[in-house]
Amino acid sequence: MGVRPPDSLIARVHRLVAPLRPVAWTRAERGYTPAERWVVQLSDGSTAFVKGAVDEATAGWLRTEHRVYSTIEARYLPKSLGWDDGKNPVLLLEDLSAAYWPPPWRPGDVELVLDALAKVRATPPPDWVPAQDRERLVGWPAVAEDPRPFLSLGLCSEAWLTEALPHLVTAEGDAEIDGDALVHIDVRSDNLCFSGDRVVLVDWNHAARANPLLDVAAWLPSLHSEGGPLPEDILPDEPELAALISGFFACRAGLPNIETAPRVRGVQVEQLRSALPWAARSLGLPALG
């Protein structure tokens, strides 16, 4: 017998899709949290994406994601097909396996994502969506308190950090975070795809109200690390946001691996490799050394 989900998850999906039946399962490899992710084929030949919580953290994230899909109608959201709450909720979504998931980024893709993000910020956020928590984003003060995890990455010298840190802390503190726009706040290639004429953004577990430029700024380091343009080519004259995004990764990327999400630190390091030089260039700091 091939790999298949836990029997309890199969039973819950069976109830959600009845009178259809699940007939085949394929594990979905994308994603960085320990949540269960599967593509299920149903008895009528259709498919669906299954996401199942496995602990308190993933349960909370999944409830937020479901709440977005149940209170916002937009083409940039995946279609919601079913929901089963409980200790470990289960969410059924449209299967986007056949969509195009970058990288590589094709000509015109960046413009399409920017247009989708414009549609996101034009969407009135439901009343329940919380304001973005500034403390969740800022990071350079933590680096100042203990620079050893950051310096262990070897991205700059201790002398460079000593000179640059006051400027990074100040700029990050001046970053405009507050706003009334709907933001995804975790825009990356693994959280977006191109399905026909739609750009679809998935994993809305951090949805918030904030400055809409946060979505663009948060996306740019990963885009550049995957062969895209320099961040300032898309978002010029935003040194404070460059400092904010670089600080978010700088205070985390050098920390020990997360046992339940061991690939996260590597992704953070790759984004920091683009975000830190962006901040240095934007603030007129010396080249990294």
Both 122 and 83 in a single domain? no
Residues 20 and 77 both lie in one domain: yes
The domain tally of the chain equals 2
Burial of 93 (0-12, 13-18, 19+ CB in 10 A): buried
231 three-class SS:
helix
Domain with residue 78: its CATH number is 3.30.200.20
For 38-50, the DSSP string reads EEEEETTS-EEEE
Residues 88 and 140 in one domain: no
* 55 & 78 share domain: yes
**Whole-number pLDDT of residue 1:** 47
Write out the residue range of the structural domain in which residue 37 sits: 7-94
- Decide: 101 and 190 in contact? Cβ < 8 Å: yes
Q: Are residues 233 and 180 in the same domain?
A: yes
Instruction: Please indicate, yes or no, whether residues 196 and 263 belong to a single structural domain of this protein.
Output: yes
CATH label of the domain that carries residue 123: 3.90.1200.10
Q: Are residues 249 and 172 in the same domain?
A: yes
Q: What is the β-pairing status of strands 80-84 and 90-94?
A: antiparallel
Residue 103 inside a domain? The answer is: no
Residues (pLDDT < 70) of the chain are 1-2
Quote the distance between the C-alpha of residue 213 and its chain's center. 15
Answer whether residue 142 is part of any domain. yes
What pTM does this model have? 0.94
pLDDT one-digit tens code per residue, 121-179? 999 999 999 999 999 999 999 999 999 999 999 999 999 999 999 999 999 999 999 99
Cis before 166 (ω within 30)? no
